[in-house]
A and B are shown apart, each in its own frame.
Chain A
Amino acid sequence: MASQNGIGAAVKRKEDARFITGMGRYTDDLGAHGQTYAMFARSPHARAKIVNIDTAAAAATDGVVAVFTGADLKADGIGDLPCGWLVKSKDGSDMIQPPHPPIAVDAVNYVGEPFALVIGETLAAAKNGAEALSVDFEELPAVVDLASAARTAQIHETVPNNQCYDWELGDKAATDAAFEKAHHVTRMDIVNNRLIPNAIEPRAALGEYDAAAGSHTLHTTSQNPHLERLVLAAFVNVAPEAKLRVISPDVGGGFGSKIFVYAEETAVIWAAGKTRRPVKWTAERSESFLADAHGRDHVTHAELALAEDGEFLGLRVQTIANMGAYLSTFASSVPTYLYGTLMAGQYKTPAIYVEVQSLFTNTAPVDAYRGAGRPEATFVVERLVETAAREIGMDATDLRRRNFIQPTDFPYETPVALTYDTGDYEASLDKALAHVHYAAFAQRRDASEAAGKKRGIGFSCYIEACGLAPSQVAISLGAGVGLFEVGEVRVDVTGSVTVVTGSHSHGQSHETTFAQIISEKLGVPFENVTVLHGDTGRSDYALGTYGSRSLAVGGSAIVKATDKIIAKGKKIAAYMLDANADDVEFEDGSFNVTDSNQSLTFAEVAFAAYVPAKYPLDELEPGLSEKAFYDPPNFTYPAGAHVCEVEVDPETGVVEVVQFVAVDDFGNIVNPMVVEGQVHGGLAQGIGQALLEHGVYDDTGQLLSGSYMDYTMPRADDLPSFTVDTTTTPCTHNPLGVKGCGEAGAIGSTAAVINAVTDALGVASIAMPATPETVWRTARGE
């Protein structure tokens, strides 16, 4: 049904009414009767033994309700924070996972690691209490530099050489053989800079304990409340799963950083049970900088072997990935299964070999941040390809075309374990080049030159793998969780619809796009559809939101549930109309008997299901509510072409992004307005990585970029308006034909920017972020 609010329509968002009027309900907006406040005491040292914590003065501070140390949690049976993906090293051994107590017990291993929490009647009392803690630390030399981290002090007793694992993917012998035949080899050393996610809503938690029911309720800023509940129940032992409800209300952005199970909400929900009082914690931004999981942070050497005509023969990648001080919830999977597997990019490179060594350092844990592994992979591949083109004197777009996987090649099996189902890479590149007016670039460059500026253009043809799946494959590779999603479609008595999804929306617009799907499929007016999410008390166990999966996986589950609704509705309608169920069709919101004028509206059938006057009760249960779990048979493979044009002022080193074009293939699109918005945001983060953002520790492990004074967030005047367009090859294996769009902007854009900056400056490489100082120095050959 081509409804004005159905699939493909740029419907205005349902969410907006509350957000633009200040009526959103975020975790910190909530309160509970008798609520107390938690303040975490955090290590000022990057690495130290905790010799003694004297809590007496803190406990005696006015208004302090309780003081807890890591030892208190441990004594109460609270377990370590686990990592959910077991990666194996080359030699078959398991990765080494050091103990990660939520609150440090014997040692602290990064600045900002909590070692105590103080609960106060007021936040001020909790802060005063934390101030009164007396702690003896025995400082130890910190391991900060990633490249040398395997050769310095050992951080964890159980982790020799600070190595978590040494992983490989691909055929080493075949790749080495390919390099033997190479006419040209492009070699690069690449640093992927550490980023700090910085969702504008800081993390927060409100823990409550209902003594009468013996149950805990945790409101928190989570992208996946079910995962939070599973970990807190099954691994951390806060409460049995059935006695713990986790609710993520409105959440102010996540970008990956709110997937993970953190120390703070663990301690808060536990403390609520101990003190029998509601406990609330909201991070100050300074705490977010220190203790949110950071992103990226790789050091890589990569080589691309080419034949004389530019054909890619082989790719070799060696990466050291920073895990930080402990393994965050999915840290191990990011530089491996979300990174090494993407090294084929859009190309028919026949032999690829990737080695990844993951190391611990005395820095904040590193985990998924928008794109998670795929931006790092794209950066390696697309910097190499662009550099190779420059080295062999070939146009960078021609070299890509020479090597693209062609539409006729699908399904295409890469040498790094993925099977791409569909795509048309050249179509996206063609469209992007038309938007950017590539043919006229030389004239624009000359005009800049005449004005004393340097203009450059850079490309990035990325691929990503979204909707991580299928469960059985992922589990066989070490995933500790299934990767399906649940969707429930509850038809109300009057024919309106309530959808309950296990996905969570923290900006992605599920309340709108999922309602569009229902409106399209069931013919129910858009305004009569309500989407509920973010509550373990409402939906079945599911995996939540990450990896651009909500629509491809969560949306597919909803479609499956609507199919069940329609099937049941046909049976009900057939009975009511004395027809054969096979003769009933559902179209435009009505059940029609073929070759007749007999028809029932969706609402009439719904009403009959709940008021079963004429109803086949001996054959059918009453009610019209269906649920479906959907486990995808494969990843989806969004891909696209990003082109960046910059103008550099050699006098100041300032880089102006004068044009940014993104043409993406997300398969079918439910709401183009929402999709464009997702791309815009991703581009800003990718451009931010290239030009502005950098998480910096000094050599003693102090975080120097620990506030918005020092960590450069992209602001409105740092960015251009973007040109965003799409091409479409529908995903072949999910019912909506959709691929996912949440991360693409951040995955493709960074390489395009750096390719443009290096083009402008005429240099082989430049460090990220390419700040004015870095650009100025690089331009001077420093």
Chain B
Amino acid sequence: MNVTLTVNGTEHTLDVPDNTLLVDVLRGQLGLTGTHVGCDTSQCGACVVHLNGDAVKSCTVLAGQADGAAVTTIEGIGSPDDLHPMQAAFRDNHALQCGFCTPGMIMSAIDLVQKSEGLDEQAVREGLEGNLCRCTGYHNIVKAVLAAQQNMAQGGN
């Protein structure tokens, strides 16, 4: 089937088998390997991207379901020279070690902050319940999200 996706602002029309997952289109066909796959039961969150502005696990979305949609991946939110406040907060708070869960974690965290107000530590912990990290014990991730919340409120994205 033909699928048209606007990924990080660029429109792509792709011919894919009906059962193709969004994550496989992103990683395999578009080479956007920042979105990771860490499990096969939709529970680790390493594959989280934004679909029309909502955080989704791209391992659980068919490419066909995303036809016509705007997809934002980790590659689309900032660059080393122009980091998204959430990316900067992750770096500044040492909220990552091996980096594998990081893209999904950042994409979930951005969605969480954008859709909530005045998140406290407990709310951040609950909000990130769908993303697994094995390195950090979440301590610094929570710190980073709380810091980014302030920066995003002060005019970031």
Contact = CB atoms under 8 A, between A and B. Distances in A.
Whether chain A touches chain B in the assembled complex (some CB pair under 8 Å):
yes
Specify the main secondary structure of chain B where it touches its partner.
loop
B129 A22 contact: no
Contacts of B137: 680-685, 714, 719, 722, 745
Contacts of B102: 19-20
A721 interface: yes
A379 interface: no
B9 interface: no
Given A24-B34, A716-B142, A19 B75 contact: no
- Tell me which of A252, A713, A716, A719 has the highest count of chain B C-beta atoms within 10 A of its own C-beta: A716
Nearest to A19: B99
B134 A285 contact: no
B136 interface: yes
A588 interface: no
Contact of B134 (A282, A284, A508, A713): A713
Contact of A201 (B38, B79, B126, B131): B38
A456 interface: no
Contact of B106 (A20, A680, A709): A20
B98 A253 contact: yes
Interface residues of B, number: 54
A19 B104 CA distance: 11
Interface stretch (A72-80, A237-245, A671-679, A750-758): A671-679
B74 interface: yes
B156 to A, nearest CB: 15
A709 B40 CA distance: 10
A180 B91 CA distance: 58
B98 A680 contact: no
Interface in B126-157: 126, 128-129, 131-142
Nearest to B17: A124
Interface string A677-717: 11011111100000000000000000000011100011111
A19 B33 CA distance: 11
A22 B136 CA distance: 18
B32 interface: yes
Given A284-B40, A708-B41, A717 B126 contact: yes
Interface in A711-743: 713-717, 719, 721-722
A200 interface: yes
Contacts of A286: 40
Contact of A22 (B41, B43, B44, B103): B103
Interface of B: 27, 32-41, 43-44, 46, 73-75, 78-80, 83, 87, 90-92, 94, 96-103, 106, 121-122, 124-126, 128-129, 131-142
15 contacts: A19-B102, A21-B80, A22-B35, A22-B73, A22-B75, A23-B34, A25-B33, A201-B98, A507-B98, A508-B97, A685-B137, A716-B126, A717-B126, A721-B121, A721-B142
Given A24-B99, A681-B137, 15 more contacts: A16-B91, A20-B87, A23-B75, A200-B134, A252-B98, A282-B37, A285-B38, A285-B40, A285-B44, A286-B40, A508-B97, A684-B134, A708-B41, A709-B43, A721-B139
Interface of A: 12-13, 15-26, 28-29, 198-202, 250-253, 255, 282, 284-286, 506-509, 673-674, 676-678, 680-685, 707-709, 713-717, 719, 721-722, 745
